[in-house]
Chains A and B, each alone.
Chain A
C-alpha cells in the first residue's frame, strides 16, 4: 500500500529540487542593484515586516470582505458552468436563486455606501 505513494515522493523530491535550483540560480546569477524604491513594500502601504498589532484603515477590511463574497461566487460558478448540461433546469434555477441573493446583498452594500472609498 505504501508503494502507492512512491509517485508522490518522487514528485515532492523533484519539486523541492526544481524550487531550490530556480531560487538559487536567481540569487547567485542575477544582478542586484538595490535602491530605496525597489526595497520598499509594493503598493499596499504597509511595511512588509513590522509589529502585527498595528492600526490600519478599516476600509481595507471592508473591501476585503466584499471581495471575498464575490470571489467565492466565481468559485461556485466555475464548476457549475462546466456541469451545466448535466444538472438540468433544477441546477440552473438553484444557481439563479443563489445569484439573486447575492444581488440583494450587493444592492444593500451599494445603498449603504460601502463601495465608496471616501
Chain B
C-alpha cells in the first residue's frame, strides 16, 4: 500500500487558517498584555487572507480531494466567504468589550480561528468522517470560549451545560454515522448516496441511522426539542462569545444539513422531511412564544434564534432547489442580523455596565439617534417587516414550502412570525417611545461604528435588492 499525496490546491484556505492559528498561538504567548492588539490584528489579517484565497480560487465546478473526504464547490466557497465576514465583524465588535471586561486574551482569537477552521471543514465536508471532525473542532473551541470568563459562575454553568449536552449530541451523531456506515459500507457521502439509491429507503438500519443523525444535527442547530442548551448558553456566556456562537456556526450547520441530508441521504428525503417538519413547527412555535416573556435581551435573542432555525429548516425540508437556495439566503441574512443585534448589545455597554435587559435600550433614540435607527433596522429585519432583508428571506422560504403543497405549514409560519413581531417591536418601542434611564454618553470606537453602520445598511440593501444574493445562492447550489 502506497500513499499518494492528494491535491492540496483546493484546501489552501484551510491550510492558511490552520497555519496562522498555530502561529498566532505561539506569537501570543510571547506578547505583553499591552501588545495584545497584535494578536487581534493578526487574527483579522488571517480572515482577510483566507477570504482573498477563497475568492481567488472560487470553485466553478466541484472538486473532491483528500481521498474523497473534502469537496470544494461554489456552495462551500460562498458560505465560507460569509463565515469570514461575520467572524471578522465578531472580532471587531467584541474587541472593546473584551478590553473593558479584562478578557482581552489571545486565546479568544486563537480559539475563534480554530472555530472558523472547524466551520470551513464542516462546510466542505464530503464524508461523514470530515463532517464529524469539523463539528468537533468547532464545538471544542466553543466550549472553551464559553468558559473563558472563569470567575463568572453563570458562564461556568453555561459551559458545563453546553459541554455535557454537546457531547451527548456528538455521541448521537456518531451513533447515526456508525449505523449508516454499517448499512452502506462507506463514510464517503457520494458512495453512501449511491448505496442508498440502490437499496432503497426501506432499510431499517438506514432509517435508524438517519434519526440519530437528524437528532445530532438539530441539537447543534438548536431546533426544538433539542434547544435546551441554547438560551442558557447565550445568556451565560460572555456577550462576545454569544456573538460568535450566534453567528457563523449557523452557516456551518446549514451546510452540514445540506451535505449530509441532501447530498448524502437525498434518497431518504421522504423520511427526513417528516422529521424536519416536526422540528420546524415546534421551533417556530416555541421560539416565538417563549421569546415574548423574556426580559433579558440575550435570552430573548436566543429564543428568536430558535424560531429562525425553524424557518431555516422550512427551506431545507421543501427539498427543491429553490427551497435550498431560500434556506441558504435565510441563513446568510440571519447571520448578518444576529451579528448586528448582538453587536448592538455589546456596543452599548461601558466600563462597569453591560447591557443585559431589554429595558437597557430605553430611550436610545435620545442618546444616539443613529444607533437607535440601526437597531430599528435589525429588529424590523428579524421580525420580517416588508422591504427588509428578513422579510424577503421569510418570503422565499414560505414560497418554497407552498410550492410543494404544504400550505398549512406556510400559514403556520406566517401566523407565528406575526406573533413573533410583538417582541421585536417591543424593543423598538423601548428605543423610541420610552424615556432614557441613563444619561451617560455612548462611546464607540470609529471602526466599530463604521462596521455596525455597514452591517445595518447591508440589511436594508439586501431587503431592497435581494436578487443579487439570491441569484448567487441559487447558482452556487446548482453546480
Contact = CB atoms under 8 A, between A and B. Distances in A.
A, B from the same assembly: yes
Interface of A: 86-88, 90-91, 93, 101, 104-105, 107-108, 111-112
B421 interface: no
A111 B29 contact: yes
Contact of B2 (A87, A108, A111, A112): A87
A87 B5 CA distance: 10
A105 to B, nearest CB: 8
A90 B29 contact: no
Interface of B: 1-5, 22, 25-26, 29-30
Contacts of A108: 25-26, 29
A86 B5 contact: no
Contacts of B2: 86-88
B26 A88 contact: no
Nearest to A113: B29
A107 B3 contact: no
B5 A90 contact: yes
A111 B30 contact: yes
A9 to B, nearest CB: 26
Contacts of A105: 25
Contacts of B30: 111
A16 B29 CA distance: 54
B22 A101 contact: yes
B4 A107 contact: no
Nearest to B18: A101
Contacts of A111: 29-30
A93 B4 CA distance: 12
A104 B26 CA distance: 7
A84 to B, nearest CB: 12
Given A104-B26, A108-B29, 6 more contacts: A86-B1, A88-B2, A88-B3, A104-B25, A108-B25, A111-B29
B356 to A, nearest CB: 30
A91 B3 contact: yes
Contacts of B3: 87-88, 90-91
Chain B CB within 10 Å, residue with most, of A86, A93, A104, A108 = A108
Contacts of B4: 90
A101 B2 CA distance: 24
A39 B325 CA distance: 70
